[in-house]
């Protein structure tokens, strides 16, 4: 695999095969997801800290269509799914990026069976999609404290002023 960021963006079928190889190699796989519309310090801090829970990290990115269903507003996403995926893939601590179109990443989580599922601390274990499935397979669920005053919505509001 070359170092090109686009090579880290894979389909679910490709991710399944890579996940199998990681499992055979004894890697601990971290999974997280989000829109990551306008990449900012809060995203980088969250993803970097998430990656520390394992040796490989999969980041699932909402497709453009699924972002629109998340009540983010008609102007969202600002950046296309491909642009968002490439930016996340450019982070050295991200191993794979998958774009998903469903309203939640539950199918990805069930299929890829990560060892660690991570979300921001604006969620609780009870409200994290896929938490019970990961726990049922012996995995862990973690939350990361978010960097205050950094959100895509706040950045957009500031730009409009």
Residue ranges of the alpha helices (H) in the chain? 12-25, 41-51, 64-68, 81-89, 106-112, 131-136, 152-160
pLDDT digits (tens, 9 = 90+) for 88-137: 999 999 999 999 999 899 999 999 999 999 999 999 999 999 999 999 99
* 159 pLDDT higher than 80: no
Contact 106, 130 (CB under 8 A): yes
pLDDT digits (tens, 9 = 90+) for 2-19: 578 899 999 999 999 999
pLDDT at 71: 67
* Predicted TM-score (pTM) above 0.75: yes
* Mean pLDDT over each residue of the chain, to the nearest integer: 91
Count, residues in the chain: 161
* 84 pLDDT higher than 70: yes
Segment 52-68 mean pLDDT: 95
* Banded model confidence at residue 152, pLDDT cuts 50, 70, 90: low
What tokens were used for 70? Answer: 């998340």
Considering only residues 78 and 110, tell me which one the structure prediction assigns the higher pLDDT: 110
Contact 89, 5 (CB under 8 A): yes
């Amino acid at each position: 695999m070359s170092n090109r960021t686009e090579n880290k963006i894979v389909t679910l079928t490709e991710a399944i095969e890579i996940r199998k190889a990681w499992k055979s190699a004894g890697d601990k796989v971290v999974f997280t997801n989000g829109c990551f519309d306008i990449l900012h310090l809060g995203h980088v801090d969250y993803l970097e800290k998430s990656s520390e829970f394992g040796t490989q990290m999969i980041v699932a990115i909402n497709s453009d269509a699924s972002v629109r269903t998340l009540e983010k507003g008609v102007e969202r996403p600002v950046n296309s799914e491909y642009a968002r995926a490439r930016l996340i893939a450019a982070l050295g601590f991200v191993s794979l990026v998958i774009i998903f179109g469903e309203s939640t990443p539950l199918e990805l989580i069930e299929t890829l069976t990560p060892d660690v599922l991570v979300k921001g601390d604006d969620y609780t274990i009870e409200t994290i999609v896929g938490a019970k499935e990961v726990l049922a397979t012996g995995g862990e669920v973690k939350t990361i404290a978010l960097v205050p005053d950094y959100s895509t919505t706040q950045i957009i509001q500031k730009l409009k002023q």
